[in-house]
Amino acid sequence: MILTTTECVPGREIRETLGLVRGSTVRAAHAGTDVQAWLKNLVGGEIEEYTKLLAEAREQALDRLTAEARARGADAVVGLHFSSCEIATGAAEFLVYGTAVKLVPRSS
Amino acid sequence: MSEREPTRDELLAMAYADGELAPAERAGFEARLALEPELAREVSELRRLELLARHAAPPEPMDHEWGRLARSAGQRGLRGAGALFLGAALLGLAAWALACLEFSHASWVPKVLVPLAILGSLLLVGAAVRARARTLRYDPYRDVKR
């Protein structure tokens, strides 16, 4: 499955547009993580616990998007966008969306 | 590397994790996943491997240091002691609040409602922890670093 933020795939042309596909997840850090993150706020630097939380959310959302695109019989998802927001303290929503397409080799 | 041939279930799990099953086969396999924890664990493990392959980029020096620190006895001791004292203090405070209420001249309403609220909170936390503990081993995303 090709996932790309561009509108087209080099060497291929879009034969069919299958529609919007998306994957989202809301993941929370446990309370202990919030305490550690608060303590790191005092000393500065990367808050690794929250980096990890967002990375987990991003991968899960991407996998859900890929599963939906596969279920529709897509070869690729183009115009991929990522978006995230804080839905509650210590919980992040990660949304990834794009357009599922069927590709064919570009006719020269 | 194992010389053993993969079983039919292992091949099915690989095809499912790679999204290669036909819709009818996928529906049948998902119905089995709900009933067979061992199979669900196998799928989760395959997805974890896929994630690992996606993150095969060399770790940054800071990640090495975070990892070393997280494994060091000193850091673990500090964090463990901190969590232990905090947990003990919170439980102690709840017990103290209950004892104060018991010996106060307050009406029976707070004497019943406050312990009920504490018990309810503990039951809810217990239910959330139980649910997480049950699903933790099937969650392939909990070790994603970056």
Q: What is the mean pLDDT of residues B68-82?
A: 90
Is the pLDDT confidence value at A76 over 90?
Answer: yes
Question: Higher pLDDT residue, A22 or B65?
Answer: A22
Among B6, B15, B4, B3, residue whose Cα is nearest residue B43: B15
What is the pLDDT confidence band of residue B146, given thresholds at 50, 70 and 90?
low
CB pairs under 8 A between A and B: 31
Is the pLDDT confidence value at B2 over 60?
Answer: no
Flag whether residue B43 sits within 8 Å of chain A, measured between CB atoms: no
ipTM, two decimals, is 0.74
Fold for the domain defined by A2-105? Translation Initiation Factor IF3 (3.30.110)
- Give the distance from residue B1's alpha carbon to the nearest chain A alpha carbon, in angstroms: 28
Write down the domain spans for chain A. 2-105
Residue A108 DSSP symbol: -
Taking residue B146's Cβ as centre, other Cβ atoms within 10 Å add up to 13
Which of A36, A59, A70 is facing B144, going by the closest CB pair? A59
What is the pLDDT confidence band of residue B67, given thresholds at 50, 70 and 90?
confident
Token pair for A15? 């034969």
Which of B19, B86, B146 is facing A67, going by the closest CB pair? B19
Q: Which residues of chain A neighbour B142 with C-beta distances below 8 Å? A: 56
Contact at CB, B145 and A46, closer than 8 angstroms: no
Produce one character per residue of A4-38: b if its CB has 16 or more CB atoms within 10 Å, e if not: eeeeebeebebeeebeebbbbbbbbbeeebebbbe
pLDDT at B26: 87
Question: Higher pLDDT residue, B100 or A107?
Answer: B100
Is the pLDDT confidence value at A8 over 60?
Answer: yes
A86, A48 contact by CB (below 8 A) = no
Contact at CB, A56 and B66, closer than 8 angstroms: no
Contacts of B105 (CB under 8 A, 6+ apart): none
Share of chain A above pLDDT 70, in %: 99
Q: Strand A91-105 relative to strand A76-88: parallel, antiparallel, unpaired?
A: antiparallel
Token pair for B137? 């081993």
Q: What is the mean pLDDT of residues B120-132?
A: 89
Which of B19, B83, B146 is facing A32, going by the closest CB pair? B83
What is the pLDDT confidence band of residue B145, given thresholds at 50, 70 and 90?
confident
pTM for the full model? Answer: 0.74
What is the pLDDT confidence band of residue A106, given thresholds at 50, 70 and 90?
confident
Is the pLDDT confidence value at B135 over 90?
Answer: no
Alpha-carbon distance values, A38 to A84, B90, B118 (Å)? 21, 18, 26
Is the pLDDT confidence value at B69 over 80?
Answer: yes
What is the pLDDT confidence band of residue B128, given thresholds at 50, 70 and 90?
confident
pLDDT at B85: 94
pLDDT at A108: 66
